[in-house]
Amino acid sequence: MSHVLKNTEMKELAKLYDYISMCTHCGNCKYGYEYGKDANFAAMLCVQGDKFNFDSYRGSRGKAALSRGLLSNRIKWSDAVSHVLFTCTSCGACQQMCETDIKPYILRMFETLRYEAWKQNVAIPSAIRKWSETIGVNYNPYLEPHSKRLDWLPSSVKDSLPKKAENLYFVGCTASYRQKSVALATVNLLKKLGVDFTIAQDEWCCASPLLRTGQYDLAKGFIEHNAALADTYGAKNIIATCAGCYRTLARDYQMDAPEGYADKYGKVMNTKVMHTLQFVEEMINKGEVEFTGNFNQKITYHDPCHLGRHAEIYDAPRNVIKAIPGAELVEMYRNRKFSFCCGAGGGVRGGFADYSLETATKRIKEAEATGASVVTSACPFCWRNLTDAIQMNKSPMQMLDIVEIIEPIIKRK
């Protein structure tokens, strides 16, 4: 390896050299496809490639080539390289389609490339730099005061929360500061279902934005802080509404590379983490809940990348939707592991808002084609980007989180 690696400064990227070298540049990562006896599927899944077209932007093979070029000094760091790295939403579609041994390490490679970019004199998106400068004080990427994290929670509910509980509801930054309706619906749902739960008074960002944008050093303190919350509140389980929080708490905190970052930060937590819809699905399967009303509309479900491709949770949200009286689930052409990203992830919503909304518009057009009146998801971040696209395009569709749909019409038996 020494005869190839001339740049020894990029130690984190160099650790992945053997995996990076396993990319055969076949190009399978550039598209989604599946062939069967009854029907064939083929579509563009890479939102970055769909936007920018050049090979460096499309799929994982371009980034693998960049990695090898940077490590060998055949390619120099530049603003153009940085643009390739930070316009990727880290959706994982290319990893899904890869058929070589680099496959498990593709997302880790992307994040490591960004880590290395921070150490170079290249253009990091200004919006990312801005929240990065304050996240160590505010503990959220929205530039909001940490003291306002629980302002969405009615004082009567806040004062009644137990100091110890079997379940800890990890709210997440997006639901706490932006999509507060999702946070409130989740609390009301858990109360209606008689769940023993509490909410941490000092929750910090889960560190997903930091890890996804390569800010490894900053992430460490956040991971260590949040990992201690379950013990502080005596919780056996953590319930997360946000797909990004779920992925980070369940995988990054607890699993070694390439699935998580326990190899870097240690296995700081072994608490069971469940997405809200996994929790509800389990209660439905046990016959512990019943619906008190109908939702007589066609619904199409958007798979959040962090919950779907990253964590392979496809069925729980759909099973909950199918259990709703009157609801009809209709799928978009690109769904499950072939889902098209909403365009918000990987720091793209903050760094390149117009491109992010352009991507969300493509997804909303696909949702409209199903004939559904409601597009739903299981991620407040997807909720925000898709809602903004609906409003920008004056789409007749309504965006609702699945929790918002079921909370008014469900109760515990």
Domain boundaries, the chain: 11-118, 143-279, 289-412
Alpha-carbon distance of 61 to 97, in angstroms, equals 11
Contacts of 44 (CB under 8 A, 6+ apart): 31, 32, 50
Asked if the model's pLDDT at residue 9 lies above 90, the reply is no
Task: Note the Cα 247 to chain centre separation in Å.
Answer: 7
What would the mean pLDDT of 63-86 be, rounded to a whole number?
96
Rg value, the chain, Cα = 21
What would the mean pLDDT of 347-369 be, rounded to a whole number?
97
- Per-residue pLDDT band at 39 (split at 50, 70, 90): confident
What would the mean pLDDT of 300-326 be, rounded to a whole number?
98
| Structure-token pair, residue 129 | 């730099």
Residue 172 near residue 240, CB atoms below 8 Å: yes
Residue 346 near residue 208, CB atoms below 8 Å: no
Residue 397 near residue 367, CB atoms below 8 Å: yes
- SS3 category, 291: strand
- Per-residue pLDDT band at 367 (split at 50, 70, 90): very high
- Per-residue pLDDT band at 3 (split at 50, 70, 90): very low
What would the mean pLDDT of 288-309 be, rounded to a whole number?
97
- Whether 143-279 shares its CATH topology with 289-412 is answered yes
Alpha-carbon distance of 262 to 254, in angstroms, equals 6
Contacts of 394 (CB under 8 A, 6+ apart): none
Instruction: For the beta carbon of residue 288, count every other beta carbon within 10 angstroms.
Output: 13
Strands annotated E in 98-236: 167-170, 197-198
Task: Note the Cα 294 to chain centre separation in Å.
Answer: 30
Does this model's pTM top 0.85?
Answer: yes
| Structure-token pair, residue 132 | 């990065």
| Beta-bridge partner residues of 197 | 167
More confident residue, 265 or 1: 265
More confident residue, 204 or 8: 204
Nearest alpha carbon to residue 193 among 220, 217, 218, 169: 169
- SS3 category, 276: helix
Which helix (H) or strand (E) segment holds residue 27: the answer is none
Mean pLDDT rounded to a whole number for the chain: 96
Q: What is the CATH number of domain 11-118?
A: 1.10.1060
Instruction: Give the pLDDT confidence score for residue 6 in this predicted structure.
Output: 55
What would the mean pLDDT of 280-306 be, rounded to a whole number?
97
Alpha-carbon distance of 381 to 175, in angstroms, equals 8
Contacts of 155 (CB under 8 A, 6+ apart): none
Instruction: Give the pLDDT confidence score for residue 4 in this predicted structure.
Output: 56
Instruction: Give the pLDDT confidence score for residue 1 in this predicted structure.
Output: 45
Q: Which range is least confidently modeled, 26-30, 299-303, 318-322?
A: 26-30
CATH architecture of 289-412: 3-Layer(aba) Sandwich (3.40)
Asked if the model's pLDDT at residue 126 lies above 80, the reply is yes
Asked if the model's pLDDT at residue 312 lies above 80, the reply is yes
Residue 311 corresponds to which amino acid? A
What would the mean pLDDT of 176-199 be, rounded to a whole number?
97
Nearest alpha carbon to residue 206 among 153, 125, 162, 261: 261
pLDDT digits (tens, 9 = 90+) for 179-188: 999 999 999 9
What would the mean pLDDT of 58-69 be, rounded to a whole number?
95
What pairing do the DSSP bridges indicate for beta strands 374-377 and 328-329?
unpaired
Asked if the model's pLDDT at residue 359 lies above 60, the reply is yes
Q: At what angle do helices 380-392 and 180-192 cross, to 10 degrees?
A: 130
Domain 143-279 sits in CATH 3.10.450: no
Percent of the chain with pLDDT over 90: 96
What would the mean pLDDT of 362-374 be, rounded to a whole number?
98
